[in-house]
Amino acid sequence: MRRSGSGPSTDAPRGETVGYRPLYRQVYDTLLRRLADAVWQPGQLLPSEGQLAAELGVSQGTVRKALDALTADSLLVRRQGRGTFVAEHDDQQSVFRFFKLRPDADGGGIPDSRVLALSRGTANGDERERLDLPRTAQVVRIERLRSVAGRLCVCETISLPESLFPGIAELSLPNTLYSLYATRFGITIGTARERLKAILLPAREAALLEMPEGTPALEIDRVAMDLEERPVEWRLSLCLTQDMHYLSVLR
C-alpha cells in the first residue's frame, strides 16, 4: 500500500495541505472496491487482519481501523473468535434496514410482496431527475403490493435503469429485491434517502389496497444509492398507516 496523497502526482509528500488521505482510508477504499466489484461475496469470510495487513504492507492496527469503518457502514460483520464476513442484507433481521413500516401492535413478521405489473420504457422526467439519467435512458418499472401479517399495506412503483439491471424484467422477482440486486447484478445498496408526505389515496391505488378513495396514506419517495453513492433505484410507495407506523430513530 503506497503511503501517498491522492491525485495524479507521484510521491507527493504527505504534508500537502490538500489531498492528504490517511493510510487507513486508502485501505478502506481498496477493500471497498473489492466489495463493490463483488470480489468477495456476501456472507464470505475475509482473510484475517494479519493476512490483510501483510498483503497490503501495513500494520494490523491500520487494517483494523479500515475494517471497523466498513463495519460501521454495515458492509462487514465482525464476529469475535470467528472472523470478518461480508454483510448479508437479506437476513430476516436485515430486511428491516430499509423497511421502516411497523405494526402498531408488536410483532408482524416479514413483509410479503406480489408483483402486479412489469413494464419497460423511456425514463420520464421524475425518473431522470431521481436517477440522474440522460434523456433517452430506458427503465424497467415494477408495480407491486406488499402485506405485513396478512394485511395489505403498501402499493409501490419501482423504477430501475435498464443499463444497470439488464434482463431483470425476465427474472422471477423475490420478495427482497436488494439481495437480487447484489447477487445477480453486483449492485449493493449502501444508503437510501426517503422523503415522506401525507397524501390522500387516488382512486386507482385505493382500489388496489381495498380502501375508500381519499383515505389518508403515507407517500414514501425513496432513492437508493450503491456503495459509491450513485442513485440506482427510485421507488414511490403509498402506505396505509391505520394499523402501522413509520419508525424513525434520531440520534
Partner DNA sequence: GAGTGGTCTAGACCACCTG
Partner DNA sequence: AGGTGGTCTAGACCACTCA
Binding site for DNA (CB under 7 A): 3, 13-17, 20, 22-25, 46, 48-51, 58-62, 64-65, 67-68, 78-84
Neighbours of 230 (CB within 10 A): 12
Q: Are 36 and 188 in contact (CB under 8 A)?
A: yes
Query: Which uninterrupted H or E stretch holds 237?
Result: strand 231-239
Q: Are 212 and 190 in contact (CB under 8 A)?
A: no
Minimum CB distance to a copy of itself, residue 234 (Å): 15
Query: Which uninterrupted H or E stretch holds 189?
Result: strand 189-200
218 binds a copy of itself (CB under 8 A): yes
225 binds, among a copy of itself, DNA, none (CB under 5 to 8 A by kind): none
**Grid-cell match 436517477, residue found:** 131
246 binds, among a copy of itself, DNA, none (CB under 5 to 8 A by kind): a copy of itself
81 binds, among DNA, a copy of itself, none (CB under 5 to 8 A by kind): DNA
Q: How far apart are CA 168 and CA 17, in angstroms?
A: 46
197 binds, among a copy of itself, DNA, none (CB under 5 to 8 A by kind): a copy of itself
The interface region with a copy of itself, picked from 18-26, 166-174, 197-205, 226-234 by CB under 8 A, is 197-205
- 89-148 positions binding a copy of itself, by CB under 8 A: 97-98, 100
Q: Are 233 and 224 in contact (CB under 8 A)?
A: yes
Q: Which three cell numbers stand for residue 14?
A: 504527505
The interface region with a copy of itself, picked from 84-92, 111-119, 156-164, 211-219 by CB under 8 A, is 211-219
Q: At what angle do helices 49-56 and 60-72 cross, to 10 degrees?
A: 110
Residue 77 vs 217, nearer CB to DNA: 77
End-to-end distance of the chain based on CA atoms, in angstroms?
36
Positive or negative: CA dihedral 169, 171, 172, 178: negative
Minimum CB distance to DNA, residue 41 (Å): 16
Q: Given candidates 155, 217, 226, 233, which one binds a copy of itself under the rule CB under 8 A? A: 217
Closest CA to 199 of 245, 235, 239: 239
79 binds, among a copy of itself, DNA, none (CB under 5 to 8 A by kind): DNA
Number of residues written out for the chain: 251
Q: Given candidates 192, 211, 227, 236, which one binds a copy of itself under the rule CB under 8 A? A: 192
Residues that bind a copy of itself (CB under 8 A): 73-74, 97-98, 100, 190-200, 216-219, 221, 239, 241, 244-251
